[in-house]
Structures are given as structure tokens and as C-alpha cells.
Amino acid sequence: MADSEDDERRGGRVDKFTREREYGGGDRRRDDDRRGGYRGGNDYGNGGIKRAAPSRRDDYPMDSKRNRQGSEAEDASAAANAVPVLLPFKKWLVQQDDSINEDDATSKYAEYKLEHKKQLLLKFFNTHKDEEWFRQKYHPEESTKRKDEQKHTITKRNEIFKELHEKGFFNEGSLDMPNAEKIIFIMDAVVVKLEGGSDEDVELLRQQKVEDDVLAEIGKKETEVAETETTDNENGEVKKKKMHLHKTTALFLRNVEANIKQSEVEEVCNRYPGFLRLCLSEPVADKKFARKGWATYKKDVNIKQIALNINSIRIRDTDLHAIINKDLTRKIRTVNGVTAHSGVAQNDLRVATKLAALYDHRSGLYSDAPEADRECDIQVGVDLVGTSPNPIIKIARGRIVDELSPEEEELMGKSGQNGKSDGLEKFPLQRDEELLKTLDLVIWYLRIVHSVDFYTHSDYVNEDKMPNRCSLIHLRGQPPSGSQFETDEEGKTLITSKFVNDFSATFKNNVEKLTARAHISDEEIAKLGKKNPDDEVEAFIKVNSVELSAEKWLCPLSGKKFKGPEFIRKHLQSKHVDKLEEAKQDAFFYNTYLADPSRPVEPEAPPPPAREERHEERPRYEDRNFSENNYGGDRPRYSGPPRNEYNNRRSLPGGRYHDAPPPPSGADNRQFRPPVSYRDLDAPDDVF
């Protein structure tokens, strides 16, 4: 057989991967087998006596039936979920027929990658579908429940916003840095209301001093207001606690594993007095989808002792690693003061109003339409601002100067560059206080109701469960200084229209990134393995219809026997409706996971480091010039085997040529010497 293969190869038929096989080097394990188990000399001690290989536990049969069964079950489970590693194109091509052409290889490799992706998605789904975070994200019932809770939270915050708006809280100062003290008070008042405080509690808050590090930066001292003296009676204690409604203390939990439920952590945290709420972050893929957590307590508890107690408790053999959460000492941050310019403010008002209408529509705050219909409105470009019933958006619409549509720009000749200046003309920064007042109202609405910090285009997700329920806000800072821009004779900053337009365009793009959502077509979902709920129900019925013999069928689910599969179907449809519904829900569950373009997946393993390829051709040994000048005498040229045969000899058993590299190209020939044999003279002869 081998002779015929050699003849066939010599006849001209060469396998397309002959070169890879010839230069791939010897198989170390085959070499070891030929050497009788020789381990490169390490199995031999002094005197050349071969030491016996150390015994291993898995070399002996297991006496425990339980252990053997458990091991077999683990192997079966691992085999069921195993997904072969995705092969790179070259390695995949090795497994294909020699007759495959380039076009077929490209298309088939694309099919191979798609099938591999489908297997990975299904494996990830089966691995995580019972974990709470995954079910809250994709399961039809649990995700709907979570969205209802979020809508309830938004509705409550909207009611608080309306109350403060009616009482004129947002007229106390514009969203500029000099008004930081008043703005902090409003944010604390929101927290008092969220904690269930009354109007009296808000007035009590007004009598307290404002504490924030930002006050020192604007040249203001903390407001010195003497706290009302309390007696030791019950009324005094109640009043003192209400003064701290907007303050909390918290623990940061560094490690909440994916299989731990929120209720389990809450149970531990609730063992100690003053517990308010628990917030768990989104899981982190590269940390095995573990989550971070924040356990919030009332301000007057001994948080240090609680941390020690929680760290002495393990949940499912896991430590929570609780540490004291650092208090927030700076609620105010600033952005470029050019945002106060009327041109920038007009652009910001358009963007903020669209943002408010978008968040309203997605949350269903002012709409009872199904989520799918609301999302469809967003995709097709329905005018959400024009159709919004939100009174805040109606106020903003009266101050908005609409942008020209692309069609209007084309008709008016403004789409091209003709007639346009370079935008470098200078003019002083101007404020429009009425415009800024309207803009501030929309910004306050976004911040309080939807937890969106407009000027930094940030969405503080799950803020209502965090220790600080209304924590940060960005304000307009000081106008650009003269070092950045020129000033006029009166010292006013001069800016250019180009700067304003570029600044506004950049800001708008950043906001669009915040709100953009990718969508996957139905065709793409089908390619990824979309399930048909009815087919899944039929598959469930088929699995639970086992034929034992003629007219004798078994339902494994109940253990009952029937005369035919149609009786099992009726049995399942009447007695196990919940199981059939579960099979249908699992199909919707999986399809929802597939439809998410940002779906979590297992992080890919880093590719192995690329091997350095040497493109330099070394000359054959017989072509090298070993002159008498190099060796001090008349020596014949080396006439050893050609290079490929030499490489094969290097990998022969025994390592006779294994560690003898060829001399580098261009090296001093006087340094060359015949390969040194590393033969172990004490080793048995049969290994050679």
C-alpha cells in the first residue's frame, strides 16, 4: 500500500497539503512510543537505570460505583455542551476534499462559521438560562415583570417632578455653576420625596447646611444653618432621622456570582437593621458573568460592623467581599461654558426635547401601546416630539427653531458650499435667558424622571436602586477664557460660527450614540437558529411518547402507559398544560436572546501567538564553500544529505540531530563544526 502511494506521488499526483505534512516536524508522541516510552533522558537516574513512571490515580479502576457514575454523568454533560473550536480557514481547508475550488471553499467556510456561531449561542443559552440576570433580561414573563417595575419607578419620579415644578423649584436658579448650592438642594429634595418624605421634611431639609466639595471651588462656604436642637424624647429622635432622609450609607459587594439570586443576597443584608435596598450591576463577561452589588442602609447604622458580619457569611460557598462604600462628596460637575451661547442652547433644546420624547416613548410613560409598536414607531421615524402629550415637551416646542430638512436645504441652495462663508467670522458669546430657562426645564425632566445627565449624555441605569438615588449632574461652566479665544474691547469672549457648529454637531452625535439601538432582521434571526414555538411543543410531545411495543406506549413525564401516541397527546394537553406552555415559552425565550444585537456571549479565547516565519533561504550544505583557508588544510566539500532529509534526520528517535541547528547564513565558516551527537551512552541500545 505504501509503495503504491509513493508511486502515485512520484507520478505527479501531489496532495495539496503535502508541504505542510512534510515540514510539520515529527510527532513527539510517536517518537516516544518508538523509544519504548523514553522521556528525553529524564526517566533515567544515575547508572543508566530507567525509573518506573510514577503511578497515577486514574491508572487504577475506581472501586466506588457512585464516583464512577458521577464521573460518567459529568463526561456526558460536558460532551453534550461541548462545541468544537472554530478552525481558521487554513486548518479547516485541510479537512476538505482536494477537488474543492476557491469559491466553494469560501461559501462552505462561511456556512461552517455560521453553524459554529449557532452552536455557541445555543450552548450559552443552555448554560445561563436558569440564572436570574439572564431570565430578567430575556425571559418573556420575567423581563416583562422587570419592565413593569421600571415603568412604575419612572411614573413615581415623574409625579415628584410635576410636584416640584408646580411649586416653582426649578425657577430658583439656572443650571450654571454659580447656582450649585440651590441645585444640590433640589436634588436632595428629590431624594427625600423618593424616600417617602413629606413637604414638611423638604422644608426641614431647607434648614440644613448644604455639604459638597464643589462649594469651595466657587468661593462659597457651606451654608451655616444651626440645626434645631433635639431633646432625648421620641419626637426628637424622629425629627433627627427625618433630617437624614436624603443621606445613606452603603456596602460595596465586589463579587456576586451569576448563579446567586438577588433574593439570597437581600436575605443576608436584611438580617441587620437599617437595610433599605440592594442593587446588582450587569454581569461582567470576562469575570464569569459575576456582578457587583451595593447594599444600602440608613445613615445611622454601624456600617463597619455590618460589613464584618456579612463577610462571615457565605452564599453557595462564595464570599461577597463586602467593603464600606465611599461617600459621594461631589455632586456637581461642569462642561464647557460655551453651552450657554444662544446658538448652542438652541441646538441643545432640540436634542434634549427629542431625547425626552424618545425616553417617554420607550418607557411607555405617556403611551399605552405595546412595546413592539412603540419600537416600530422609533425605527420608522415617527415624529415623537410633535405627537407627544408630555406638557414639558409642549412647552419646549414653543421655543424650538426647527432645522431645515434635507429637501429644504436642497431647494434653498444651502446643501452645497456655494454662497457659504468659511465660518471664521468672530462674534461675542450671547445668552438668551428665556431660551436657557426652557432648556433647563427639559434637562431637569431628563435628570429626575429618566436618570439622564444631559450635558454628559450619560444614562445612570438602575440609579433608583443605588445608594444615591439622584447623585450627579453636569452644569454649564464658565465661558471660555481669553487664552482659548479672543476677547473684544469690553472683555467679552469672541467665538466663531464654525466652532459653534462643530461643537453642536459633536454633541448631537454623542447623544445619538447614547440612544441608538441596533436591530436584527427576521432573516438574520432565522439564520441564527430561531425556534418555532409550535414545533417545540410538538418536539416535547414526541419526546414524551415512547413506544414500548405494539399498542403499548409510555409517557416518561407521568410514568403512565397508553395504547397509542394520540392518547399521550391528549394526556399531555389536559394534565400537563404547564409543561407544554413552558416548552413554548422557552422558544420565545431563546428567540428574544437571538434578537438582541448586544447579546452576551462567552468571551473568545485569545488567539495563539503567531509563529515567526523565516523567509530567508538557507543554502544547502553541499553548496557551502569549506575552503582550506577556513580549516587550515585541504578538506573536501561537505556532501551530506539535502536540507529536507537533514530536517527529517534531526527528528529521529534518540535526538541524535535534534538539538544541532544548521549554521546561520553568512556565519564565519571557521565556527562551523559537524553536528554534535547527544547520545546518552548509559541508555539502552534499543532506543536508538
Averaged pLDDT for residues 660-683: 50
- The pTM is what? 0.73
Angle in degrees, CA 452, 457, 460, rounded to 5? 40
At which of 308, 328, 348 does a domain end?
A: 328
3-state secondary structure of 206: helix
353 plus 498 within the same structural domain = yes
Q: What is the pLDDT of residue 215?
A: 86
- Interacting residues of 271 by C-beta distance below 8 A, sequence separation 6+: 309
Q: What is the pLDDT of residue 84?
A: 79
Q: What is the pLDDT of residue 606?
A: 60
375 plus 466 within the same structural domain = yes
Band the pLDDT of 630: cuts 50, 70, 90. very low
Domain coverage including residue 258: 248-328
Query: Helix %, strand %, coil % for the chain, to 5?
Result: 50, 10, 40
Flag whether pLDDT at 138 surpasses 70: yes
**Which of left, alpha, beta for 602 (phi over 0: left; psi -120 to 50: alpha)?**
beta
641 plus 587 within the same structural domain = no
Flag whether pLDDT at 598 surpasses 70: yes
- Give tens-digit pLDDT for 84-119: 788 999 999 999 998 889 999 999 999 999 999 999
Band the pLDDT of 410: cuts 50, 70, 90. low
Q: What is the pLDDT of residue 26?
A: 42
Query: Which DSSP category does 621 fall into?
Result: G
At which of 328, 361, 385 does a domain end?
A: 328
User: Residue 325: which of 301, 342, 346, 360 has the closest Cα?
Assistant: 301
**Which of left, alpha, beta for 67 (phi over 0: left; psi -120 to 50: alpha)?**
alpha
User: Is residue 204 domain-resident?
Assistant: no
Q: What is the pLDDT of residue 428?
A: 86
Query: Which DSSP category does 298 fall into?
Result: E
Do residues 467 and 296 touch, judged by C-beta distance below 8 A? Answer: yes
pLDDT above 70 covers what percent of the chain? 69
* CB-CB neighbours of 688 under 10 Å: 13
- Give tens-digit pLDDT for 451-468: 999 999 899 988 999 999
Flag whether pLDDT at 64 surpasses 90: no
User: Is residue 386 domain-resident?
Assistant: yes
Segment among 27-36, 127-136, 137-146, 180-189 with least mean pLDDT: 27-36
Band the pLDDT of 32: cuts 50, 70, 90. very low
Flag whether pLDDT at 614 surpasses 50: yes
Which carries the bigger pLDDT value, residue 271 or residue 687? Answer: 271
Flag whether pLDDT at 418 surpasses 80: no
* CB-CB neighbours of 35 under 10 Å: 18
User: Is residue 610 domain-resident?
Assistant: no
- Interacting residues of 557 by C-beta distance below 8 A, sequence separation 6+: 544, 572, 576, 579
* CATH code, domain carrying 313: 3.30.70.330
590 plus 685 within the same structural domain = no
User: Is residue 132 domain-resident?
Assistant: yes
Query: How far, in Å, CA of 472 to CA of 129, rounded?
Result: 35
Do residues 494 and 428 touch, judged by C-beta distance below 8 A? Answer: yes
133 plus 257 within the same structural domain = no
- Give the DSSP letter string of 420-469: ---S--EEE----HHHHHHHHHHHHHHHHHS-EEGGGTEE-TTGGGSSST
Q: What is the pLDDT of residue 528?
A: 94
Band the pLDDT of 687: cuts 50, 70, 90. very low
Query: Which DSSP category does 208 fall into?
Result: S
Query: How far, in Å, CA of 531 to CA of 500, rounded?
Result: 51
Q: What is the pLDDT of residue 214?
A: 87
Do residues 262 and 281 touch, judged by C-beta distance below 8 A? Answer: no
The three three-digit cell numbers of residue 290, written as one number: 459575576
Would you call 292 exposed, middle or buried from its count of C-beta atoms within 10 A (0-12, 13-18, 19+)? middle
Location of C-alpha cell 405627537: 387
The three three-digit cell numbers of residue 361, written as one number: 416613548
Averaged pLDDT for residues 423-444: 91
* CB-CB neighbours of 297 under 10 Å: 22
User: Is residue 18 domain-resident?
Assistant: no
User: Residue 322: which of 257, 272, 250, 249 has the closest Cα?
Assistant: 250
Q: What is the pLDDT of residue 626?
A: 41
319 plus 374 within the same structural domain = no
Would you call 353 exposed, middle or buried from its count of C-beta atoms within 10 A (0-12, 13-18, 19+)? buried
User: Is residue 664 domain-resident?
Assistant: yes
Do residues 134 and 127 touch, judged by C-beta distance below 8 A? Answer: no
Do residues 241 and 212 touch, judged by C-beta distance below 8 A? Answer: no
Query: How far, in Å, CA of 418 to CA of 581, rounded?
Result: 65
Q: What is the pLDDT of residue 239?
A: 61
User: Is residue 192 domain-resident?
Assistant: no
Averaged pLDDT for residues 530-547: 94
Query: How far, in Å, CA of 488 to CA of 656, rounded?
Result: 87
The three three-digit cell numbers of residue 573, written as one number: 394537553
Which carries the bigger pLDDT value, residue 688 or residue 261? Answer: 261
- Adjacent-strand bridge partners of 314: 319
Flag whether pLDDT at 554 surpasses 80: yes
400 plus 418 within the same structural domain = yes
User: Residue 642: which of 18, 22, 13 has the closest Cα?
Assistant: 22
- Interacting residues of 397 by C-beta distance below 8 A, sequence separation 6+: 353, 385, 386
The three three-digit cell numbers of residue 549, written as one number: 411495543
571 plus 625 within the same structural domain = no
User: Is residue 146 domain-resident?
Assistant: no
E strand or H helix at 174: none
Query: How far, in Å, CA of 425 to CA of 496, rounded?
Result: 6
Q: What is the pLDDT of residue 610?
A: 58
Segment among 27-36, 456-465, 614-623 with least mean pLDDT: 27-36
Q: What is the pLDDT of residue 16?
A: 45
Do residues 341 and 429 touch, judged by C-beta distance below 8 A? Answer: yes
Based on C-alpha coordinates, what's the Rg of the chain? 37
* Mean pLDDT for the chain overall: 78
- What's phi and psi for 293, nearest 5 deg? -140, 155
399 plus 508 within the same structural domain = yes
Flag whether pLDDT at 372 surpasses 60: yes
Flag whether pLDDT at 426 surpasses 90: no
How many domains are there within the chain?
4
Flag whether pLDDT at 278 surpasses 80: yes
Segment among 93-97, 388-392, 569-573, 680-684 with least mean pLDDT: 680-684
426 plus 278 within the same structural domain = no
Averaged pLDDT for residues 531-545: 95
Q: What is the pLDDT of residue 285?
A: 86
- Give tens-digit pLDDT for 198-219: 999 999 888 888 888 888 877 7
Which carries the bigger pLDDT value, residue 60 or residue 246? Answer: 246
296 plus 368 within the same structural domain = no
589 plus 639 within the same structural domain = no
Flag whether pLDDT at 23 surpasses 60: no
Query: How far, in Å, CA of 269 to CA of 267, rounded?
Result: 6
Query: How far, in Å, CA of 70 to CA of 67, rounded?
Result: 5
Q: What is the pLDDT of residue 20?
A: 40
- Give tens-digit pLDDT for 482-529: 666 777 777 778 888 888 899 999 999 999 888 888 888 999 999 999
- CA 330, distance to chain mean position in Å, is 28
User: Residue 479: which of 234, 182, 178 has the closest Cα?
Assistant: 178
pLDDT above 90 covers what percent of the chain? 51
